[in-house]
Chains A and B, each alone.
Chain A
Amino acid sequence: MTEQPSTLPERQHGWQRMRRTRLSRRALIRASGRAGVGAAGLALVGCGDDDDDSAAQVQQQDQPQSVSQAQQQEQQQSQSMQQDQPQQQAQADAQAQQADGQDQPQAAQQQQEVVDLSREGDTDWERSVTVAVPNAVGGLDVQGPGNYTLKWNGPLHFDRLLQYDLVTREIVPNVGNFEWIEDFTALLWHLNPGHAWHDGAPLTAEDIKFSIDRAAGNAAYNESGSYETGVAYIVSAVNGEVSVVDDLTARVPVNTDVTAPGSTGTTLPLVPKHRIEEIGDEAYNREGLASGPFQMVSYEPDIAVRSVRNDNYPIGYENLNRQHRPWVKEVVQSVRPEPVARLAAIQAGEADVAPSLEWELVQEFVNEPGYEVLFDPGCCPHTIFPNTRVPLLEDGSNPYRDIRVRMAMNHAVDVETIYNALGTGREQRAYGIGTRQLGGMQPEQSGPLTMQYDVAMALQLMDAAGYADGFESDFYGTAGFFSATDQIALSVQQYLDEVGIRTNLQLDPLPDFRARMAQLDVPGLHYYFTNQSPDPFQMINAEVSIGGTLTVAEYPDSGIQELVEAQRSEFDPEQRRARLNELAQLIYTNASWLFLYETIGTGIMRDDLEWDMKGNARDYGGLWGIRPLLT
């Protein structure tokens, strides 16, 4: 890359810069993958309405300063996010870079796009699809406290500034792009023209300023109002006055990278300034005007939510790898809290899709005509964290501080038998942090390192550690949040019991469980999950780094903390990837946790629908991806 790591005043800016460099590099890699399938694929992606071709985009990163109006316009055109498909350059690099492991699925995907588009005529454009969902409660103001987590509303009806690319898992422009200025202390948000609210009013930079101000709790429009800022922490990165540069440009001063996956840019939903100022917060909470791919028609709490396709949504069907205009004419989310009742609704013809249903319920439909069983990657590898911070036993000792005990735990549990029995047959062992692409444990590394099921070895290790008679420990898990966690916990409990780790198991709802884990001083085992976002950055901060909000298992003398710091301050993407890989290996060889596996989510759908999320989990936010087929 042309990027020069110039003099950086502060480390945090360095982090942002590093991230940017990494993203732009990966954008190129991805583009080369696309080019690999040839001219047909290129022609198709070339017709994107918000995709601008530019080979020059990377050079601009080093001098992003405040710019004039005219320049901005041009920059938006030319720079328009590194993630976008710079096909010419891509084509040139194609042959050389195609060997990169990440490219393979994309090449396949490219093929898929060709097929998809030639089948436009097969799509049933008038179809209403009913989705069986576990609940639909809350208000319609997506920025209201608690409401931003509501799956059935936020992702369906509202837009965010950025979004994820399904294949590369990188952030890509949505309603607009960003540009770093003033030495990474501020961002310019550029809105793409053509976006409008569902009432027809155009989306402007005023709306961006308003959305950020409102979420941050410093909106001037309603000082005496009752609005409570439940999402304030989301925008804690904004450390100054947001200003409107022109109709389509807003300047946002920040102190951390809000363009990283999972940060404000990808999570903060936009709300309409004109409407909220007109009718007030309370009325808006009952109306919920939005600008996303679906427009809400009616909402009956805990009964049904009806939404129709936003035919004016500017991101068209050619953007197959990201949120686009939906195919279905109408989507009805019909509430069925009991999993068995969701299945019954499908069988009775009252629903077409039930995205998350236990494997036990759907497995007999795998070969059943009329149905398609959905397999999705689970959200996160299951991991059990031993608390090493506080004493466990009465004498003040903590066996989990002894690596031999932790290794014994890992050898004691027959992970493969558990997932073969309880799973779909597609599960894989988990090795802690990081996806393979981002420096996680590579297959060739994990082979020799894997702590296989070996009771004799486990007993030997326990004996060597001085716990031949075992010890007692509390064991906390969750119930009812992810399927099968209770069954997995019970199985693990029994395996541990066989090597003398006698546990007292308690299962609680996830938030209660997390509250206990966050206390950091509750001794015993905590059965939680790792790796919830595409980049392990946040997960490392929360669960690995000493002082993290959930770091109960800390190992000050292991060298883990040093690697955590190292990857944090590493600017070079290759180097960071290498540090992450070292960290992943060290966490595993240190037997830091009890490593289980990544569950596969399942669901069920009528077979006259098609729902391709390119290997990502199908959930309520991805309903735009359902394509009804003409039969």
Chain B
Amino acid sequence: MGANGLWTIFLSRLLQGMLVVFLVVSIVFLVSRAARDPIEYLTTDETTEEEKELLREQFGLSGPLGKQYVDFLVNAVQLDLGNSFISDLPAMEEVLNRASKTLQLGVAALLFSLVLGIPLGIIAALRRASPSDWFARLLAVLGQATPNFWLGLMLIFFFAVQLDWFPTGGSGGIEHIVLPTITLGLLTSAAAMRLTRSRMIDVMNTDFVRTARAKGLRESTIIWRHALRHAILPVATILGIQVGRLIAGTVIVEQVFAWPGIGRLMLHTITVGDFPVMIAGILVISSAIVVANILVDLSYPIIDPRIRAGGQ
């Protein structure tokens, strides 16, 4: 398969991805518009119905849903998602300002989970039933069984209040990102560890590893050159899925640690009914997930040449 073929696949996946993003945004737009009247957030008890109607017109919230949707699409195609109802700043700008913060946190958490999860998984697999295996598995279970908001609060009280090693929240220096990273990354690292471990165990029992052993290859060569490559395939898939879960996790972790990212912005905009920012946020988040998954898909043939991307 040449580079040309890879490009074709990449482009078709990209087009499919755009379709997906379009559908996601449409679903959210229709569900949210159909169900809620954001005017209530911008008015007081004494506001009369006529005044509310006036405001609806100003915000483009009047008229039938279908017309609102078409208007929205026409504007969206021109890259105009409107201004925030709350701040009157361009919605996309508000979201992108926050996106970098979430990206920082997400990448840190992903790295943390890989750095912790994959080596632990390999060690646990190679020394099955040893204390290190039990330790790794216990850690994985704990990581998967602790509600992250609770873990976050516990970390705050222990490391920020009692020991005073880290700030209780906010953003700024590197010290601010440590606790949120651990809180967010623990669940993913547990998943990565378990998958790596079980895959490694499987792979180490396969014919070609035994053949390699019979050929007298060094154990470390077998593990690093051959076994790991096979073991890592489902881990890559898991990571594709985990990107979405990480983003879900950021909503809570950002709330607990006052991390000024996109998750907290979205939580706020959904609760206050700030539609333009909400739609812009959904657009950015779903695009990020789609891109991450395309990258994972494209990495399959690289990790495991036996699979041809697209499956021809």
Q: Are A337 and B258 in contact (CB under 8 A)?
A: yes
* CB 8 Å contact bits of B69-87 with A (1 = contact, 0 = none): 0000000000000011111
Q: Which of B47, B156, B272 contacts A344 (CB 8 A)?
A: B156
By a CB distance below 8 angstroms, the chain A residues around B295 are none
Given contacts A139-B88, A232-B54, contact A341 B46 (CB under 8 A): no
**Chain A nearest CB: distance from B11 CB in Å?**
37
Q: Are A515 and B168 in contact (CB under 8 A)?
A: no
Q: Which of A336, A512, A518 contacts B169 (CB 8 A)?
A: A336
* CB 8 Å contact bits of A528-544 with B (1 = contact, 0 = none): 00001000001101110
Within 8 A of A (CB), among B96-122: 97-98
Most buried by B among A226, A334, A344, A543: A344
Q: Are B168 and A232 in contact (CB under 8 A)?
A: no
A302 to B88, CA, bound (A): 16
Most buried by A among B54, B94, B161: B161
By a CB distance below 8 angstroms, the chain A residues around B301 are none
Q: Are B170 and A334 in contact (CB under 8 A)?
A: yes
A229 to B268, CA, bound (A): 22
B41 touches A (CB below 8 Å): yes
Q: Which of B45, B85, B160 contacts A549 (CB 8 A)?
A: B45
B146 touches A (CB below 8 Å): no
By a CB distance below 8 angstroms, the chain A residues around B54 are 232-233
A615 touches B (CB below 8 Å): no
Q: Are A230 and B258 in contact (CB under 8 A)?
A: no
**Chain B nearest CB: distance from A214 CB in Å?**
13
B271 touches A (CB below 8 Å): yes
A144 touches B (CB below 8 Å): yes
**Chain A nearest CB: distance from B51 CB in Å?**
4
**Chain B nearest CB: distance from A50 CB in Å?**
30
**Chain B nearest CB: distance from A360 CB in Å?**
14
Q: Are A542 and B153 in contact (CB under 8 A)?
A: no
By a CB distance below 8 angstroms, the chain A residues around B258 are 302-303, 334-338, 341
Most buried by A among B153, B170, B172, B264: B170
Q: Are A146 and B87 in contact (CB under 8 A)?
A: yes
A622 touches B (CB below 8 Å): no
Q: Are B168 and A341 in contact (CB under 8 A)?
A: yes
A550 touches B (CB below 8 Å): yes
* CB 8 Å contact bits of B267-303 with A (1 = contact, 0 = none): 0100111100000000000000000000000000000
* CB 8 Å contact bits of B167-191 with A (1 = contact, 0 = none): 1111110000000000000000000
B48 touches A (CB below 8 Å): yes
* CB 8 Å contact bits of A220-259 with B (1 = contact, 0 = none): 0000001111101100100000000000000000000000
A144 to B37, CA, bound (A): 19
By a CB distance below 8 angstroms, the chain B residues around A334 are 170, 258
A166 to B59, CA, bound (A): 37
B36 touches A (CB below 8 Å): yes
Q: Are B58 and A228 in contact (CB under 8 A)?
A: yes
By a CB distance below 8 angstroms, the chain B residues around A542 are 45-46
Q: Are B40 and A348 in contact (CB under 8 A)?
A: no
Q: Which of A229, A285, A538 contacts B89 (CB 8 A)?
A: A285
B238 touches A (CB below 8 Å): no
List the B residue with the shortest CB-CB distance to A228: B58
Q: Are B85 and A137 in contact (CB under 8 A)?
A: no
Q: Are A512 and B36 in contact (CB under 8 A)?
A: yes
A451 to B253, CA, bound (A): 47
List the A residue with the shortest CB-CB distance to B58: A228
Q: Are A226 and B83 in contact (CB under 8 A)?
A: yes
Q: Which of A226, A233, A285, A348 contacts B87 (CB 8 A)?
A: A285
By a CB distance below 8 angstroms, the chain B residues around A538 are 45-46
Most buried by A among B84, B87, B153: B87
Q: Are B260 and A301 in contact (CB under 8 A)?
A: yes
Q: Are A139 and B260 in contact (CB under 8 A)?
A: no
Given contacts A336-B168, A336-B258, contact A145 B153 (CB under 8 A): no
**Chain B nearest CB: distance from A152 CB in Å?**
13
A549 to B86, CA, bound (A): 23
By a CB distance below 8 angstroms, the chain A residues around B167 are 348, 350
Q: Are A303 and B42 in contact (CB under 8 A)?
A: no
Q: Which of A138, A228, A229, A337 contacts B255 (CB 8 A)?
A: A337
Q: Are A341 and B257 in contact (CB under 8 A)?
A: yes
Q: Are B260 and A344 in contact (CB under 8 A)?
A: no
A541 to B44, CA, bound (A): 13
Q: Are B41 and A335 in contact (CB under 8 A)?
A: no
A251 to B27, CA, bound (A): 51
A532 to B44, CA, bound (A): 11
A340 touches B (CB below 8 Å): yes
List the B residue with the shortest CB-CB distance to A542: B45
Q: Are B153 and A338 in contact (CB under 8 A)?
A: yes
A623 touches B (CB below 8 Å): no
Within 8 A of B (CB), among A236-287: 236, 285-286
Q: Are A303 and B264 in contact (CB under 8 A)?
A: no
A518 to B40, CA, bound (A): 9
Most buried by A among B59, B86, B256: B86
Q: Are B273 and A137 in contact (CB under 8 A)?
A: no
B304 touches A (CB below 8 Å): no
* CB 8 Å contact bits of B202-218 with A (1 = contact, 0 = none): 00000000000000000
Q: Which of B45, B58, B264, B273 contacts A543 (CB 8 A)?
A: B45
B221 touches A (CB below 8 Å): no
A532 to B45, CA, bound (A): 10
A76 touches B (CB below 8 Å): no
Q: Are A348 and B51 in contact (CB under 8 A)?
A: no
**Chain A nearest CB: distance from B66 CB in Å?**
22
List the A residue with the shortest CB-CB distance to B51: A233
20 more A-B residue pairs beyond the given contacts A145-B85, A226-B83, A228-B59, with a C-beta to C-beta distance below 8 A: A139-B84, A144-B88, A145-B59, A145-B88, A146-B84, A146-B86, A146-B87, A236-B51, A285-B89, A301-B97, A302-B264, A303-B260, A335-B260, A338-B255, A341-B256, A344-B161, A509-B271, A542-B46, A549-B45, A549-B48
* 18 contacting pairs across A/B (C-beta < 8 A): A139-B89, A141-B88, A144-B88, A145-B59, A146-B41, A147-B86, A228-B83, A233-B47, A301-B260, A302-B265, A335-B169, A341-B156, A344-B156, A348-B164, A515-B37, A538-B45, A541-B46, A542-B45
